[in-house]
Structure 1
Amino acid sequence: MTKENKNKVWGTRVKKPTSKLLQSINSSIDIDKRLFNEDIDASIAHCEMLSKQKIIKGESAKKIISGLKKIRIEIQKNKFKFKTEHEDIHLNVEKRLFEIIGDHAGFLHTARSRNDQVATDFKLWVKKSANIIDKNLTLLIKSFLNKAKKNIDVIMPGFTHLKNAQPVLFSHYLLAYVEMFKRDKKRIKNFLENINENPLGSAALAGTSYNIDRNFTSKKLGFKKPTNNSIDSVSDRDFAIEFLFIASLCSVHLSRLAEEIIIWNSDLVNLISLEDSLLTGSSIMPQKKNPDSAELI
């Protein structure tokens, strides 16, 4: 292999090195390096499957897994050097693996393409992120319920068109947000069920002739089952759009709450006061206490 092609996965098919301009456009490492945990987890599961199916030797599998774990530690300790010329997190990890264990690293990509690798990593990351949001919503609901119990008899004005409309209980107002957050949690639950299929093993688009075990990798990675169609598996990004919708709608609920806090805290309404720890000041007007914490939401 020629020197200029050593850093690429497509071998000698392309005769000239990639231009610097194309590298700058094609590289996604500044964004997708956050997928390093998912990429390494999926690679370890894939490697264990290859060894179990006797597609690669156990010695190679042990070296690969050991090298991947070392790379994870390097990244966690900020000792890993991400390189733009390696485009993405997948190639950055792979190239570093070659540096650590040599040619054994080449066996890791057996029966796998970057297409199913990317789809798997991305789906794992979205699943993790959705679960984090779900847990935070649970904590938020508990907080609202506790606050409602402590203010069960507190009366406040209910507003329409920013005008005093009807008296309502503050607890009743808080429970309105509980309902919103409960709907957010239901959407996340349905979403996690919808995406609980593993694309790994679909390869580029038409699967692989190797005798792989997709049920094994699905169980290892926490998926309910493998996906049914390889073409759809590598092209599907429905889950990303659905996740963005759920997160956006949840953000709308939080933004609504924050806006009401800002209005209530304003000098015109003067319904509530906020702790100083949640406020900022002005560089020119010393009397100001600004509700920036709510404004940022």
Structure 2
Amino acid sequence: MSSSRTSLWGGRFAGGPAEALARLSVCVQFDWRLAPYDLAASRAHARVLAGAGLLDADELGRMLAALDDLEAACAAGEFRPTVDDEDVHTALERGLLERLGTLGGKLRAGRSRNDQVATDLRLYLRDHVRGMATNLVQLADALIEQAERHVDTPVPGMTHLQHAQPVTFGHWLLAHVQPLLRDLERLRDWDTRAAISPLGAGALAGSSLPLDPAAVAKELGFVAPAANSMDAVADRDFVAELLFVASLLGVHLSRLGEEVVLWTSQEFGWVELDDAFATGSSIMPQKKNADIAELTRGKAGRLIGDLVSVLTMLKGLPLTYNRDMQEDKEPAFDAVDTLELVLPALAGMISTMTVRVDRMVAAAPAGYTLATEVADWLVRKGIPFREAHEVTGRLVALCVARECALDEVSDGDLELVSPHLDPSVRDVLSVRSALAARTTPGSTGPGPVADQLASAVDKLDGWREWATEHVVPR
């Protein structure tokens, strides 16, 4: 290997890598974002080397001071990787050697890029998952704030994108909050499994040096060192699992985005977006487009692709480390970056949108959404539901033929449809009465919706606290 460039390998090689190999191998252009985490792990490793008697007190002090100086230089942009740096580890060792000379080379004892990168990526993702959770809480807050304004705003609930039964818009919005709460639970569950330190596993077999993986794990905010050194360097479950959570979250966001597209359409007209969160057309001056909602739908495909990419990369790898694993970072970083863009934009769009209550109220009974109320009314009179369903179906067919609403049918026609129908059925033929009748937990009545709101707010307060925790040493 050439003496003019820093390398972490090459002693047995008579010459440097071919240009094509070097270009294929280099990954510093995207793994440089791991630098703060690599430096944190290096400080912990330096202390462990000192504890093992491999660095004296003076060497440890100089080593830690150089690492701190290097970190400051990285943060200020004064130290950057070069075209000759293969990866973040190579670049940072070069920086350390520039500051310490041969002493900088002692830090490499007892560790490998295999356990380094596995550690760095866990630290990075555990750190950024907190930011993801913070943004998720903010989106849930936006939905809840809108739901609080519309606890009793009626709107036609849908099945098969057809009018089904009246619900409240607050209930509908809270239906989007529930999967976000589950996504937050999945993130915390993921973090529990990801809180294992690979550092100390070396290349695959551990180290003959008297290191202390438990001490490193504790300093870096992990709960324990890895139980098996081979698994420690080969495991990328934590990447795949986080990408699954991210892709499922993307699907949830996409469904919300799709509904906003519908709600803002001329055909629905239920919602007006704030000008700051909509775009126009370059040719049609009248257009106001829900681009955030549409981009949210599109980004879901990207998140799913990130997951598929990593699963496909992992599926045939023998133990332990293989260079294929270099392909784990770009999908992981892409998922983090994508959600950091999408979540705040979506939260802003939801929090500033204007709900057209008048249009929702007008649409709520359309499409015979109160038909089930008639069937339930008959059931309360002792009619078997099978017969009640048939009777109500005939009533709807009559209304369709005459192009009238359910409450516009005459008393005579009610009796014509069925002797079980009498004028008192009109008591249930209002949207307000239909909503008020929904009193069971989780249903769309104003009382249950208020209960859902209180529960969601309470849960989010807990997530807010968890999301602000720092798991990586500062």
- In the superposition, the TM-score normalised over structure 1's length comes to 0.95
Q: What is the alpha-carbon distance in structure 1 between the residues aligned to residue 91 and residue 216 of structure 2? A: 22
Q: Deviation string for 1:217-258 (max 9, x for gaps)? A: 111100001111001101111110001000110111111101
1:273 maps to which residue?
Answer: 272
Partner of 1:206: 205
Larger RCO (CA within 8 A; separation ≥ 6):
2
More moved, 80-89 vs 203-212: 80-89
CA distance, structure 2, for counterparts of residue 81 and residue 139 of structure 1? 34
> Is 2:189 the partner of 1:190?
yes
- State how far apart, in whole Å, the 2-side matches of 1:274 and 1:6 are: 55
Cα distance between partner residues in 1 of 2:145 and 2:7: 57
Matching residue's letter, 2:45: H
1:257-296 alignment runs, 5 A limit: 257-296=256-295
For 1:8 and 1:209, the matched residues in 2 are separated by 23
How far residue 98 of structure 1 moved from its aligned partner, in angstroms, is 0.5
What is the aligned partner in structure 1 of residue 237 from structure 2?
238
2:102 maps to 1:126: no
* Percent identical: 38
The 3-state SS of whatever aligns with 1:156 is strand
Q: TM-score, normalised by structure 2?
A: 0.60
Retained in 1: the 8 A contact 2:153–2:170? yes
Partner of 1:160: 159
How far 1:137 moved relative to its partner? 2.1
State the 1:268 CA deviation.
2.0
Unaligned runs of 5+ in 2: 297-474
* Larger CA Rg, structure 1 vs 2: 2
Aligned equivalent of 1:76: 75
Matches within 5 A, 1:214-233: 214-233=213-232
| Separation of aligned partners in 1, 2:227 and 2:8 | 28
User: In structure 1, how many angstroms separate the alpha carbons of the residues matched to 2:242 and 2:112?
Assistant: 25
Measured in 2, the distance between the counterparts of 1:11 and 1:159 equals 65
For residue 3 of structure 1, report the CA deviation from its aligned partner: 4.2
Aligned length: 296
Task: Give the secondary-structure state (helix, strand or coil) at the position aligned to 1:84.
Answer: coil
Tell me whether 69-78 or 210-219 shows the greater mean CA deviation.
69-78
Partner letter of residue 159 of structure 2? Answer: T
Give the 3-state SS of the residue equivalent to 2:271 in structure 1.
coil
Unaligned runs of 5+ residues in structure 1 are none
SS at match of 1:85: coil
Partner in structure 1 of residue 112 of structure 2: 113
Q: Could you tell me which residue of structure 2 aligns to residue 18 of structure 1?
A: 17
Question: Counterpart of 1:142 in structure 2: which amino acid?
Answer: D
CA contact (8 A) 2:50 2:56 kept: yes
Task: Provide the C-alpha distance between the structure 2 equivalents of 1:270 and 1:147, rounded to a whole number of angstroms.
Answer: 17
SS of equivalent to 2:67: helix
Amino acid at match of 2:186: R
- Cα deviation, 1:97-155, whole Å, max 9, x if unaligned, reads 11122111011111111111011001111211222222222333333333222221111
Report which stretch shifted further, 29-38 or 153-162: 153-162
Report deviation, 1:279: 1.0
| Counterpart for residue 59 of structure 1 | 58
Q: Is the 8 A contact 2:2 2:15 kept in 1?
A: no
Secondary structure at 1:193 match in 2: helix
1:43 aligns with 2:42: yes
Which segment is superposed worse, 233-242 or 78-87?
Answer: 78-87
- After TM superposition, the structure 1 stretch with the greater mean CA deviation from structure 2, 17-26 or 132-141, is 132-141
Q: Once superposed, what is the RMSD of the aligned Cα atoms? A: 1.6
- TM-fit CA distance, 1:165: 2.2
Contact 2:115-2:203 at 8 Å conserved across structures: yes
Residue of structure 1 equivalent to 2:250? 251
User: Which amino acid letter does the alignment assign opposite residue 291 of structure 1?
Assistant: A
Aligned equivalents of 2:76, 2:8: Cα separation in 1: 27
Q: Is the 8 A contact 1:4 1:17 kept in 2?
A: no
**Distance of 2:291 and 2:229 partners within structure 1:** 48
Alignment partners' CA distance in 2, 1:175 and 1:157: 15
